A and B are shown apart, each in its own frame.
Chain A
Amino acid sequence: MSDKKPISSVNDFVVRFANVNGSGSASANEMFARAILRHGVPVSPRNIFPSNIQGLPTWYEVRVTEDGHLGARGGVDMMVAMNPQTWDKDVAGIEPGGYLFYDSTKPMPSTKFRDDISVIGVPLTAIANSTYTDPRQRQLFKNIIYLGALSALLDMDPKLIEHLIGEQYKGKEKLLSSNVHALHLGRDWALQNLKCPIGLRVKKSDKVGDRIFIEGNSAAALGAVYGGATVCAWYPITPSSSVAEAFTAHCKKYRHDPETGKAKYAIVQGEDELASIGIVIGASWNGARAFTATSGPGISLMTEFIGLSYFAEIPAVIMNIQRAGPSTGMPTRTQQCDIIACAYASHGDTKHVLLFPEDPAEAFEFAAAAFDLAERLQTTIFLMLDLDIGMNHRLCRPLKWDDARQYDRGKIMTAEMLEEGRDFGRYLDVDGDGIPYRTYPGTHPTKGSYFTRGTSRDRYARYSEEGTVYADNMQRLVRKFETAQDLVPRPLQANAERPTKYGVIYFGSTSPAMDEAIGLLEARGHQLDRLRIRAFPFHSSVASFLAEHDFVYVVEQNRDSQLRQLIVNENGIDPVRLVPIVHYDGSPITARYIAKAIGDHQDHLKVTPLRKAVS
């Protein structure tokens, strides 16, 4: 029936589930991904969902990747088409030679299929309806039935799935056994009626190691718990809400006094983003570690306070889980589009520290570090996640914590220091690093109090509109930002095997796709040195990297090449040498996309000698 040879691949393929939002498919799909992990085979799943609760199309894509390529691949080898609304598009999206899995209860006209793919029909509804009478059960178990059928088709070990079901429904015996039953209904039907396995197979391996499977938002929230955040104020916004929700859950578990049951944290759902950042600023001013989590529209609302944090020098941590803008944009799609908005947030001359974690493990580390940096630098620290890292489970190295680590509370002048007669000027640069001392409110009866304001003031926090006094303070803020360069996570460089005059700069969630793209580019004969930027302000090694290469590609997920703009602006270099590679359709960037874009540019750059070209 197929005029193209079916794809044959072990532990390297993409399965995409097309579902209807709210049909209960998410947990079955996630179980599918986890089951493959239990085979020792890395997976990289991605939720593609609408800004809606019920009824609209949603997809879940699982990249099975023995080689550990965790970026999105592009293309679909097997489509599990459970949504009639998107059928045509879903079928069209299957790679030639790929597989279509569908519910064959209702006959479909042959025009609805393709000749170059393998079509696998399983009467899921019929099986569910003959087993269950309750409509809700019919719907929910249909998901588990297709999971069972897939396990047979892909040669998966059913025991591993049963084990997962056992963990999920521990202590709920009835649910456990009914789920296992549904799994076998699907599996047995497939084994009896279909040729199993198909060309795509899962084979046990040992490539997962001790890695963990966690969403970036949850990891960042855990970083806030470990980093000592005690105040969290937030306003619900996709894709950041799960940060605050995870922080709440983690705190409930780890932050209650065992004796009194009282909470060693305070979480407030603000009336809007203005209140959320206001609460963070108030708490930080008063010496607590505080943060908020938001996304682009929230950042826009917070900018006045961010300027206050910069100018009055009040610590704050803002986790920005970026989504596609501008305006409401695409709330459930990923982008790295707030780089400029955050780097220079607020009116007047401002600059802010940005951290760019590449995965949940770094989200955890950088979140914890953000609180040290905020208190050390007495300013806002942005943790720049995006939807791709934040809301998807990602395989990453285990989270680590050194029990000897103390929090860096920054330069705090205590009552004892004031008693000793130390000169306290709130905006006095005593160490030459641009960072002044601060006192907490209530420190001393007669010494160390000051008036915090967003207006201009002198080194002793006294109101002043003198031009020289204002400029002196603004210059010190520049010095402080220079100090930040050496405190933030440094860029990581990886050089090509052979010396090359071409380099590539990338950051954040682009990381796995970029790493994979390097392999593809090398196969095309292109050598590139890589620099992964992990923070702004840029460390001096960024300037060195630019100086060492003729052309540097800057790969990012926004239209206007914002990181490139920032690099050009901050380093004062010729923009021609920085080639933008941008991807901004709201889907995560892929290795194929990067390799093609850079490869094509490289091909254009390379002048083939005439003799060779004509011979």
Chain B
Amino acid sequence: MTYIAKPKFHHPGLKKNELGYTHRDYEGKISTLCAGCGHDSITASIIEACYELSIEPHRVAKISGIGCSSKTPDYFLGNSHGFNSVHGRMPSVLTGANLANRDLIYLGVSGDGDSASIGFGQFAHSIRRGVNMTYIVENNGVYGLTKGQFSATADRGSKSKKGVTNTDNAIDLVAIALQLGATFVARSFSGDKGQLVPLIAAAIGHKGASFIDVISPCIAFNNHAGSTKSFDYVREHNDAVNRLDVLVGRDPIAVDYAPGTVQVVEQHDGSKIALRKIDADYDPHDRLGAQTFLAKHAAKGQIVTGLLYVDPDAEDLHEHLNTVETPLNTLEADTLCPGSAALDKINASLR
């Protein structure tokens, strides 16, 4: 058995959120990933974000594909339903789940193999449909579970642990997400919890397709010299466009920051994102600007992190389809079935 249940004991003085839940209520099973894996840091950030947002844990559906990253939904939100589906097919499964019940929060967890290779098409199409979801790619540039093959996000020229040099061009999922019309696009680093937690919280609050690419070094197969996804490399080449905080409701936290360096973005659900601007020229509402900014920095070998683009008035797939407010999975024969009288008329029209 490779799963380990976590003991339920906790310190009686543990802080509680608005709903009275502690951190522990957002945890899952003990991770079976390698000690020090970047993915576990992302798991911790997801837990933190959900705790801070005071989300009811069972109102989240966690959906993933196959791979190390896709195993992680078992390690957070233990009271949520999770679905470890098919390699590269998380986006379609999530889309279907979202159509069935628009009232839940959908958290899609995927990896670079899952989303940039086998599932590249599904990644693209779920984004362009505007499915209301938080799509997190735990990006380590490598196939960890099958022991270290390059993935499609591995940079050209980077070296594998065995010393092989990658000759294929890399796919930048953030650039693609921007091009496909994602209405919330961000990048972060698993080791930067201060940046990642508010990004996840903001993405959950966003109504529409939110995409976060999280660079997450694989300590077993991609944390060596020559790798461009190692802790050291990312720390040295990281260029953050902004820092942000998510303000739930009327939390007065914004006053902590000096005016002029903070930009508050109100999202559709009423939550506010406070951007602590590092780059004074950066405008997160300009898709074209974001694309240019990203390309310019990529040319300099810099990895841009932070919230690159957000459209606070985004629409989601349900709005495009004009579906009823009531979740479709609660509708029964009385509202779905046209009945025998209508069928008699149909029969009559077919004679």
Q: Could you tell me which A residues sit within 8 Å of B by CB distance?
A: 37, 208, 210-214, 222, 225-226, 228, 230-231, 233, 254-255, 257, 260-268, 270-272, 274-288, 290, 304-305, 308, 398-403, 405-407, 439-446, 449-455, 462-466
When distances are taken between beta carbons in the complex, the residues of chain A under 8 Å from B1 are 462-466
With known contacts A228-B331, A278-B95, A451-B73, A401–B80 Cβ distance under 8 A: no
**B100 on the A face (CB < 8 A):** yes
Per-residue A-contact encoding for B322-343, CB less than 8 Å = 1, 0 else: 1111001111110111111011
Given contacts A305-B86, A407-B332, contact A290 B100 (CB under 8 A): yes
B122 and A230 within 8 A (CB): no
* B121–chain A nearest beta-carbon distance, Å: 6
Inter-chain contact A281/B96, CB cutoff 8 Å: yes
Counting chain B CB atoms within 10 Å of each CB, which of A222, A282, A449, A450 scores highest? A282
Binding site for A on B (CB under 8 A): 1-3, 56-59, 61, 63, 73-74, 78-86, 89, 91-101, 103-104, 121-122, 124-125, 129, 317-318, 321-325, 328-333, 335-340, 342-344, 346-347, 350-351
- With A222-B346, A270-B92 in contact, is A283–B58 under 8 Å at CB? no
What separation, in Å, do the CA atoms of A555 and B331 have in the docked complex? 42
Please give, as numbers and ranges, the residues of chain B lying within 8 Å of A402 by CB-CB distance: 340
B86 engages A400 (CB within 8 Å)? no
Residues of B within 8 A of A262 (CB): 322-325
Interface contact B89-A274, CB-CB below 8 Å: yes
CB distance from A8 to the nearest CB of B (A): 30
B3: chain A residues within 8 A (beta carbon): 462-463
Q: Which residues of B contact A398 (CB under 8 A)?
A: 344, 347
CB pairs A–B below 8 angstroms (25 shown): A225-B337, A228-B331, A230-B329, A230-B331, A255-B336, A262-B324, A263-B321, A264-B328, A264-B335, A278-B95, A282-B92, A285-B93, A285-B96, A287-B100, A287-B330, A400-B343, A407-B333, A439-B81, A442-B101, A449-B81, A449-B82, A451-B73, A451-B82, A465-B1, A466-B1
What is the number of contacts between chain A and chain B, taking CB atoms within 8 Å? Answer: 236
Taking the closest CB of chain B, its distance from the CB of A361, in whole angstroms, is 10
A240 smallest CB distance to B (angstroms): 18
* Chain A residue contacts of B83, Cβ below 8 A: 282, 285, 451-453
Instruction: Judge whether B340 and A446 touch: CB under 8 Å.
Output: no
A222-B346, A441-B61 as given contacts; A283 in contact with B99, CB under 8 Å = yes
Q: How far is the CA of A288 from the CA of B86 in the complex (A)?
A: 20
Q: For A286, list chain B residues within 8 Å (CB).
A: 61, 96-97, 100-101, 104, 329
Which of B97, B333, B338 touches A282 (beta carbons < 8 Å)? B97
Residue of B nearest to A308 (CB): B86
Chain A residues with Cβ under 8 A from B323's Cβ? 262-266
User: By the criterion CB–CB under 8 Å, are A288 and B103 in contact?
Assistant: no
Q: Is the CB of A264 within 8 A of B93?
A: no
With A445-B57, A449-B79: A214-B350 Cβ-Cβ less than 8 Å: yes
Report whether A233 and B96 are in contact in the complex, using a CB–CB cutoff of 8 Å.
yes
Contact A282-B336, Cβ < 8 Å, known A264-B331, A265-B328, A449-B79? no
Q: Within the assembled complex, what's the spacing in Å between the Cα atoms of A126 and B82?
A: 71
Asked whether, in the complex, the Cβ of B340 is within 8 Å of the Cβ of A231, the reply is no
- Using Cβ atoms and an 8 Å threshold, which residues of chain B touch A446? 58, 79
Contact in complex: A225, B82 (CB < 8 Å): no
**Shortest Cβ distance from B21 into chain A, in angstroms?**
9
Which A-B residue pairs are the 6 nearest by beta carbons?
A: A278-B92, A282-B96, A288-B100, A441-B81, A287-B329, A279-B96
CB-based nearest B residue for A278:
B92
Q: How far is the CA of A270 from the CA of B94 in the complex (A)?
A: 13
Residues of B within 8 A of A464 (CB): 1
Determine which of B61, B101, B125, B338 lies in contact with A288 in the assembled complex, contact meaning CB atoms within 8 Å: B101
Q: Which A-chain residue is minimally distant from B341 (CB atoms)? A: A403
A446 to B95, CA, bound (A): 25
Q: Do the beta carbons of B346 and A444 come within 8 Å of each other? A: no
A37 to B121 alpha-carbon distance, docked (Å): 49
Report the nearest B residue to A231, measured CB to CB: B99
- Chain A residue contacts of B81, Cβ below 8 A: 439-442, 449-452
Contact call A271/B122, Cβ cutoff below 8 A: yes
Closest Cβ–Cβ distance, residue A85 to chain B (whole Å): 34
Cβ of B92 and Cβ of A399 under 8 Å apart?
A: no
The minimal Cβ–Cβ distance linking A250 to chain B, given in whole angstroms, is 8
Q: Are B125 and A283 in contact (CB under 8 A)?
A: no
- For B19, the closest partner residue in chain A by CB is A445
Which of A208, A231, A270, A465 has a CB less than 8 Å from the CB of B328?
A: A231
Complex Cα gap A212–B348 (Å): 8
Complex alpha-carbon distance, A405 and B330, angstroms: 17
**Which of B78, B101, B104 lies at the interface centre, i.e. has the most chain A CB atoms within 10 A of its CB?**
B101
Q: Which residues of A contact B82 (CB under 8 A)?
A: 449-452
B336 to A279, Cβ gap below 8 A? no
> What is the distance, in angstroms, from B332's C-beta to the closest C-beta of chain A?
6
Decide: A399 and B346 in contact? CB cutoff 8 A: yes
Residues of B within 8 A of A254 (CB): 338, 342
Distance between B328 CB and nearest chain A CB, rounded to angstroms: 4
Residues of A within 8 A of B317 (CB): 268
Q: Please, how many angstroms separate the alpha-carbon atoms of A465 and B3 in the complex? A: 11
Q: How far is the CA of A47 from the CA of B137 in the complex (A)?
A: 49
Given contacts A231-B328, A442-B81, contact A268 B95 (CB under 8 A): yes
Which of A208, A441, A445, A452 is packed against the most chain B CB atoms within 10 Å?
A: A441
User: Min CB distance, A218 to chain B, in Å?
Assistant: 9
Give Cα A453–Cα B62 distance, bound, in whole angstroms. Answer: 12
Shortest CB-to-CB span from B132 to chain A, Å, is: 13
In the complex, the answer to whether B96 meets A212 with C-beta atoms within 8 Å is no
With both beta carbons as reference points, the residue of chain B lying nearest to A255 in the complex is identified as B336
- Chain B residue contacts of A210, Cβ below 8 A: 347, 351
**Cβ 8 A contact of A445, one of B56, B73, B351:** B56
Instruction: Decide yes or no: A441 and B80 within 8 Å by CB, A214-B350, A283-B97, A464-B1 being known contacts.
Output: yes
A91 to chain B, nearest CB (A): 35
User: Do A441 and B104 form a contact, CB below 8 Å, given A231-B96, A305-B86?
Assistant: yes
The answer on a CB contact under 8 Å between A271 and B100 is no
A213, A257, A282, A444: the one contacting B324 at CB < 8 Å is A257
Report the Cα distance A446→B19, complex, angstroms: 14
Indicate if the CB atoms of B58 and A449 lie closer than 8 Å: yes
Q: Closest residue of chain A to B325, judged by CB?
A: A262
Residues B96 and A280 in contact, CB atoms below 8 Å apart: yes
